[in-house]
Amino acid sequence: MEIAPALLERWMREYYFDTEIDIGSSGVESYSMSELRQLLDISQNDLDRVVFDDSRTLGGPGLRDAIGARWANCNPDRVMVTHGSSEGIFLTMNALLRPGDEIVTVSPVYQQLSAIAESKGCKLKYWSLDFERGFAPDLERLKNLLSSRTRMLIANFPHNPTGISLTEREQRDLVDIVAESGSYLVWDGAFAEMTHDRPPLPDPGMWYDRTITLGTLSKGYGLPGLRVGWCLAAPEILERFVNLRDYITLHLSPLIEMIAERAVRKAHILLGIRMEQARANLNALAYWVESHRELVDWARPQGGVCAFIRMPGGGDVEAFCHRLGRECRVLLVPGTCFGYPGFVRLGFGGPTPKFEEGLARLSEMLVKFAWR
């Protein structure tokens, strides 16, 4: 199959490693091994006891138990551990979709959630989140998009890149709409516990068995380099994923699984530290937006650590982000990576001093670029 270039990954490849300040990513500040050993009580003996045998296809039992206890209603049989959520997305789309299937996806969306389906010859329909509504999801619009022909709905709330979310009542209504069509629900929960003004949403798989919920340690837990994610689904769905995995990644490393299990069992510690920092940064960002109202606009995020900032005026946003990266050494992601050319994704999960410096350099470039 031929697949479209991954625009976000290309952009990150160009600027993630070669800039000084990152205000474009959608995760929190990463932890070091030293910090993890302190926070998670990982001793030298724990590391020495790891034997580099093969692991199990669905993941080691300790890690599956830990994920199940925290996110799958204490049911490890519904858990498959993956190489980040990206492998979970790949397995889901390739195991469950066929050419000609009708797919409904939220928009804007992380490209992997739509491009793989498109490459398989699926027909995509977009459930657009409109800036004029503050990106608030319109469930009536969704109801009109779904039908008995719909094979899958793809949604992620709190949403990347806007940070908008649903109430629990709205989430239940969404599941009812999907259930009426009989389609699969792919629920990308990368930001699930990263909420600012409300409790986290529950896993919809608890009451709709055709749900595949995706999760990751990359976003809220500061461990993107660990490359650990998971799929939560009915065992018969996971078995279809196993058939594909046998030909690609096979399993995770036992060293990675040991660290990940500790991280999941103490996820509240990792999350709490970083989200406290992110909320302080969000308040600073709100002040910055208000101070630049003639140049930018937004809908304040309800979850996650990124905002989708509108840059009205008709300028070339992608060219602006290139210059910001090359001249100011600041990473900012243009909305073209999500199919929205008049926006930027601005991440506020990093260290506060660097975040504030990034905003200052952004302000300078807005003036230098004569943005209007």
Q: Which two tokens stand for residue 307?
A: 């905002």
* Nearest of 125, 129, 169 to residue 146 by alpha carbon: 125
pLDDT at 115: 93
Residue spans of alpha helices (H) in the chain: 7-15, 33-39, 44-48, 61-71, 84-96, 112-119, 139-145, 168-181, 235-245, 254-265, 267-291, 317-328, 352-368
Give the integer Cα–Cα distance in Å for 16 and 160.
Answer: 18
Residues paired with residue 41 on neighbouring β-strands, in sequence order:
none
pTM (predicted TM-score): 0.94
Within 13 Å, how many C-alpha atoms sit on residue 31's CB side?
Answer: 26
* Residues 214 and 190: beta-carbon distance below 8 Å: yes
CA separation, residue 362 to residues 14, 209, 237, 297 (Å):
18, 46, 46, 14
* Residues 145 and 137: beta-carbon distance below 8 Å: no
* Domains of the chain listed by start with CATH number: 7-32+269-368 (3.90.1150.10), 35-267 (3.40.640.10)
How buried is residue 372: exposed, middle or buried, by Cβ count under 10 Å (0-12/13-18/19+)?
A: exposed
pLDDT at 308: 98
Q: Which two tokens stand for residue 162?
A: 């806007």
Tens-digit pLDDT profile for the chain (372 aa)? 689 889 999 999 999 999 999 999 999 999 999 999 999 999 999 999 999 999 999 999 999 999 999 999 889 999 999 999 999 999 999 999 999 999 999 999 999 999 999 999 999 999 999 999 999 999 999 999 998 899 999 999 999 999 999 999 999 999 999 999 999 999 999 999 999 988 999 999 999 999 999 999 999 999 999 999 999 999 999 999 999 999 999 999 999 999 999 999 999 999 999 999 999 999 999 999 999 999 999 999 999 999 999 998 778 999 999 999 999 999 999 999 999 999 999 999 999 999 999 999 999 999 888 766
CA separation, residue 211 to residues 65, 72, 96, 176 (Å):
20, 12, 12, 12
Residues paired with residue 185 on neighbouring β-strands, in sequence order:
153, 211
pLDDT at 372: 62
Strands across the sheet containing 343-347: 306-310, 343-347, 333-334
In which region does residue 18 sit, left (phi positive, over 0), alpha (psi from -120 to 50) or beta (all else)? alpha
Write the DSSP symbol of residue 252: -
* Nearest of 12, 241, 223, 214 to residue 113 by alpha carbon: 214
Give the integer Cα–Cα distance in Å for 308 and 318.
Answer: 14
Give the integer Cα–Cα distance in Å for 38 and 262.
Answer: 11
